[in-house]
Amino acid sequence: MDDQELYDVVVNDEEQYSIWWADREPPAGWRAEGTRGDRDTCLARIAEVWTDMRPAGLRRRMAAGEPR
């Protein structure tokens, strides 16, 4: 692994997070969240903000009392 590699934290419409190479456009359906850094920095940010792994649509349905 190249320790000099830069990554962006990316997020999709379901509020799922990942990392993506900073020198590439995010894949379709994903957008940069605003954090850029080495792998460890980006993974730490994801651990900080992505505390509920359920997709956003499922969280909304459950909050509304709808079946999964």
Superfamily grouping for domain 7-63: Structural Genomics, Unknown Function 30-nov-00 1gh9 Mol_id (3.90.820.10)
Contact present, 5 and 21 (Cβ < 8 Å): yes
In this prediction the pTM is 0.79
Q: How confident is the model at residue 59 (pLDDT cuts 50, 70, 90)?
A: confident
- Are 10 and 26 a contacting pair, CB within 8 Å? yes
The answer to whether the beta carbons of residues 14 and 54 sit under 8 Å apart is no
Domain boundaries, the chain: 7-63
- pLDDT tens, residue by residue, 5-25: 999 999 999 999 999 999 999
Rounded to 5°, the CA angle 56-54-34 comes to 60
- pLDDT score for 68: 62
For residues 32-51, give the mean pLDDT. Answer: 97
Rounded to an integer, the average pLDDT of 38-66 is 87
**pLDDT the model gives residue 61:** 81
What is the spatial distance between Cα 12 and Cα 50, in angstroms, rounded to a whole number?
A: 12
Question: In this predicted structure, what is the pLDDT of residue 32?
Answer: 98
